[in-house]
Amino acid sequence: MNVLYIDIDSLRRDHLGCYGYHRNTSPAIDALAADGIRFENVYVSDVPCHPSRTALWSGRHGLRTGVVGHGGTACEPFREGAERAWAGTFYEEGWMKALRDLGYHTATISSFGERHGCWHWYAGFNEMFNPGQGGMENADDVVPVAVDWLRRNGKSRKWFLHVNVWDPHTPYRVPESFGDPFRDDPIPSWMTREVLAEQMKGYGPHSPMEPRGYDADSSGYPRMPVPIDDLAKAKAWFDGYDTGVRYADDHVGMLVATLKDLGLFDDTIIVIGADHGENMGELNVWADHQTADEYTCNVPLVMRWPGVADMRGVNEGLHYHFDWAATLIDKLGGKVPEVWDGKSFAPALAAGEQGGRDFLVLSQGAWAVQRGVRFRSEDADWLMLRTYHDGYKDLEPIELYNLTYDPHEQHDLAVERPDIVAHASKLLEDWRSATLARSETDVDPLVTVLREGGPYHCKGELPAYLERLRATGRAHHADKLEERHPGPKARTATTR
């Protein structure tokens, strides 16, 4: 079996038809899901982009690799020191090496490595093609390269091909010629006039008053009107995101059609996944991935595995994204590296069980410094967020959400349910202790981010943002941020 992994940046699980979305965003992906297996609860261990793909390709948590952010020391892997293997752990114990040991020719079509200076991520690829636009390419810049690769190589060897498209990622830049396919479709029902009005009173990068970052810059993207101060503009943002999803899905269809044309469709495992999801108003973050919450960390996973009965239906177990990489290696007959945190759920699937973990720990180190604990009780799904640096957003040190009854994280229950907070806090500390015990170092890279002045995308932004808050009638928020972030680091811009 060949393997085609279509990696769609910023793809939010619940905006796909096969996951119940009311808009027709994903007919090609939906067809794969109908003929395969759909996973409801796959979570990225470390977000956003750079930490996520580092974790997936290495099989390890950022706490163990050292990679939890987009800049500074903690966007580089820990040094391996005197015991470093010939080619290093990222190669010797990596996902691509495990596939190569099974006889696979590994290739990637992605600009990700260059965009993030993530050079260790390339370890183990036989071929690397960079479309060259640093993540600003559209699917029509990427998929024709993949089609050409398949036509030249598809029948000559056993292969793993990673194809990375970016269209749902901001800024929304699907060609205008594609039109507005969702012009007449309502937005998700949870986003009401009242919810938006409450959000407009808030603050933070990518909040409605500054949805492109820290100011009101529109930068010439008509699908992203700013500020988001009425439901019509909110709809434009939903439409822009969903148009990116549909554009990516159309190109998924092109890849599927190519496989069928080459007679490879039933000889290829097709996987649809993402590096992270996307908040579209949750926690007052619009069109970005700034937290360790449900919508940034919960990603779609759809797999069509021809001829394998247990790879059909719906799976609701709690899984990390690197668990599916371990499962792939396991089911193909390979050996999952012992250094991995990823665990195969193939035995559970074979037994007709959901499998999965009792709880998951999620990290964010680029836009905030935060860990999330995702777990279940007898009657609910829960998320606790522990925030160490708020990223200049209105986040409390501890927040608790009942995702069963409050799926869009609008009601913080931390004060009302100290018992649940205590349970989640113990899960977090036990996980941290156990994971550090397995690490080659005693350094927690999120602490490194704090010591270096906070998350990369926030460095140097506070002085100008305080001025903007005061200039737009939100001086009380500026006062709150100054109280939270006192001292020279809060008032002195740093060089990016």
- Whose structure tokens read 């990700």? 112
**Tens-place pLDDT, residues 372-416:** 999 999 999 999 999 999 999 999 999 999 999 999 999 999 999
**Tens-place pLDDT, residues 309-362:** 999 999 999 999 999 999 999 999 999 999 999 999 999 999 999 999 999 999
The reported pLDDT for the residue numbered 218 is 66
The reported pLDDT for the residue numbered 216 is 77
The reported pLDDT for the residue numbered 494 is 39
The reported pLDDT for the residue numbered 194 is 98
How far is residue 11's CA from residue 44's CA, in Å, rounded to a whole number?
12
Structural domains of the chain, ranges and CATH numbers in brackets: 2-358 (3.40.720.10), 362-491 (3.30.1120.10)
User: Which residue, 64, 8, 487, 491, is CA-closest to 247?
Assistant: 8
The reported pLDDT for the residue numbered 488 is 57
| Residue 408: C-alpha distances to residues 168, 254, 292, 405 (Å) | 20, 33, 14, 9
CB 246 within 8 Å of CB 25:
yes
- Say if residue 493's pLDDT is above 50: no
Which tokens is 371 given?
């860990």
**Tens-place pLDDT, residues 228-242:** 999 999 999 999 999
The reported pLDDT for the residue numbered 215 is 85
The reported pLDDT for the residue numbered 208 is 97
The reported pLDDT for the residue numbered 308 is 94
Q: What is the DSSP string of 60-98?
A: S-HHHHS--SSSSGGGSPPP-GGG--SS-HHHHTSHHHH
Average pLDDT of the residues of the chain: 96
**Tens-place pLDDT, residues 26-72:** 999 999 999 999 999 999 999 999 999 999 999 999 999 999 999 99
CB 3 within 8 Å of CB 269:
yes
How do strand 369-376 and strand 359-364 relate by DSSP bridges?
A: antiparallel
Residue 297: CB atoms within 10 Å = 28
CB 396 within 8 Å of CB 78:
no
- Whose structure tokens read 């499962």? 327
* H or E element at residue 196: helix 193-200
**Tens-place pLDDT, residues 273-286:** 999 999 999 999 99
CB 297 within 8 Å of CB 47:
yes
The reported pLDDT for the residue numbered 85 is 85
**Tens-place pLDDT, residues 95-128:** 999 999 999 999 999 999 999 999 999 999 999 9
Q: What percent of the chain has pLDDT over 70?
A: 98
Which backbone phi and psi does 402 adopt, to 5 degrees?
A: -90, 100
CB 33 within 8 Å of CB 273:
no
Q: Poorest-confidence range of 39-48, 76-85, 270-279, 297-306? A: 76-85
- Say if residue 418's pLDDT is above 90: yes
